[in-house]
Amino acid sequence: MKRSIIIIAVCIAALFAAGIVFAVSSEKPASKQEVNATFIPAEEAEEWLAAQEAQKEALMGKPAPDPEEYLTLYERALLHANAEQKAKLENLDTFGDEDVRPEELTKQIMIIMGMIPADAPRITIEQAEAILESVKAQGKLNMDYADDLIAEEFNKIAGAPDIECGSGLSHRVWFLDEEHTAWIDDCMGIVYYKASPESETVILYPDIPIG
């Protein structure tokens, strides 16, 4: 009798194990198509992660990154320009200088985009000299600070420099006449002046040329 009970118990255990094996083996493996259906393209994943990061920073009180942060003024203008503005931006006056690039023509770009008045005046040499005298009166200044201060004061009159250029050594150029023959160039806080194509270039600021 005991032997019969043991045999029955072994049979039940065997059937139970077989059922588990059958259940496991009967599960259909995911097809290649089903696996691919869950794949997220890299671009979508990056966008999703960027959105999550922006949301997290917003919750933490941090501003979302500006997608236009690394664009030039010219590139941003083209991005937001209407058809009329875009046509003007694509035909900027380079003053007959083939070395001047469209993105360097700050004043024209700002006028076209309505950022400064179309009749923004030109700074005069007398106004420039008065500004430079007030800067000199502050004593010896850090050149980077002087550079920004001079540009800020000049732009209060002219609106913006006609040309901004340079890689490493930045130049801001204001023309003093409509013929673009007289100019002031603020190069990293050293201010040069040329009254005409025939005249010599002189340094207006600082008093002692930096050699």
pLDDT tens-place string over residues 30-83:
454 444 445 567 777 777 777 777 776 666 666 666 777 788 999 999 999 999
Q: Find the distance separating the first CA and the last CA of the chain, reported in whole Å.
A: 115
- Residue range of the domain that includes 194: 119-205
The rounded mean pLDDT for the chain is: 81
Cα 97 to Cα 61: distance, rounded to the nearest angstrom: 47
Let me know the angle formed at the C-alpha of 58 by 53 and 60, rounded to the nearest 5 degrees.
Answer: 95
My answer on whether omega of the bond before 206 falls inside 30° of 0, hence cis, is yes
| Cβ proximity of 183 and 175 under 8 Å | yes
Domain count, the chain: 1
Which region holds residue 210: left if phi is over 0, alpha if psi is between -120 and 50, else beta?
beta
Distance of CA 184 to the CA centre of its chain: 27
- Does residue 69 sit within a domain? no
Q: Tell me: pLDDT of 5 over 90.
A: no
172: in domain: yes
- At 143, the pLDDT band (50, 70, 90 cuts) reads confident
By residue count, the chain amounts to 211
- For residue 207, the model assigns a pLDDT of 77
* In a domain? residue 185: yes
What pTM, to 2 d.p., does this model score? 0.67
- pLDDT higher than threshold 80 for residue 123: yes
In a domain, 84, yes or no: no
Let me know if residue 181 belongs to a domain: yes
Tell me the mean pLDDT in the region 151-162. Answer: 97
- Is residue 108 within 8 Å of 120, Cβ to Cβ? no
Is 57 inside any structural domain?
no
Band of the pLDDT at 170, cuts 50, 70, 90?
confident
Q: Is the pLDDT of residue 27 over 50?
A: no
Is 101 within a domain?
A: no
- What is the C-alpha to C-alpha distance for residues 201 and 21, in angstroms, rounded to an integer? 94
**Domain presence at residue 128:** yes
Own/partner pairs for 91-97, CB < 8 Å, 24+ apart?
95/162, 95/175, 95/180
Tell me the pairing of strands 163-165 and 202-205. unpaired
Nearest to 65 by CA among 74, 75, 73, 55: 55
- Residue pair 103/72 in contact by the 8 Å Cβ criterion: yes
